């Protein structure tokens, strides 16, 4: 049993209770289509993962117009249940809304991932 198992379980429970099912989308680079030009990768292919997440507004005091803009959201998701962590160029899909991942802050004391806080923007 790992040291932070109870914290991981609590984070997952609270996110499930207060969150919603979303899709975390990453983009895997596929190999190039021309074997004579292996340095040219193919088009990135989307890799989707369903996960529970909580969306929260930023408090007004954090909105500076540059790093955090009006309309940006904070998204909290548990690390448990993800096959791969969120990516900087990834997206979070909430229904028909597509949110681009701006920043990723993992909570991982002792290297054990508990959850992720994402800054997302439409």
51-90 pLDDT tens trace: 999 999 999 999 999 999 999 999 999 988 898 899 988 9
To the question of domain 5-28+44-121 being in CATH 1.20.1420, the answer is no
DSSP 41-54: --PEEEEEEEEEEE
pTM above 0.85, yes or no: no
The Cα-based distances of 88 to 34, 82, 92, 119 in angstroms read 27, 15, 11, 10
pLDDT band of residue 1 (cuts 50, 70, 90) is very low
Give residue 32's pLDDT: 66
DSSP 20-82: EEEEEEEEEEPPPS-TT-TTS--PEEEEEEEEEEEEEEPPGGG--SSSS-TT-EEEEEESTT-
Give residue 75's pLDDT: 96
Q: Is the pLDDT of residue 25 over 50?
A: yes
Q: Structural domain boundaries of the chain? A: 5-28+44-121
DSSP class of 109: G
CB 121 within 8 A of CB 99: yes
Over range 12-17, report the average pLDDT.
Answer: 84
Percent of the chain with pLDDT over 70: 94
């Amino acid at each position: 049993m790992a040291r932070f198992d109870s914290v991981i379980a609590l984070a997952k429970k609270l996110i499930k209770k207060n969150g919603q099912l979303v899709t975390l989308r990453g983009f895997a680079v596929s190999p190039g289509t021309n074997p004579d030009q292996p340095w040219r990768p193919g088009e990135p292919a989307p890799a989707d993962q369903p996960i529970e997440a909580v969306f929260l507004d930023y408090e007004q005091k954090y909105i500076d117009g540059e790093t955090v803009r009006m309309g940006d959201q904070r998204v909290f998701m548990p690390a448990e249940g993800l096959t791969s962590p969120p990516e900087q160029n990834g997206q979070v899909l909430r229904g028909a809304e597509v949110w681009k991942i701006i920043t990723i802050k993992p909570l991982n004391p002792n290297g054990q991932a508990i959850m992720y806080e994402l800054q997302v923007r439409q």
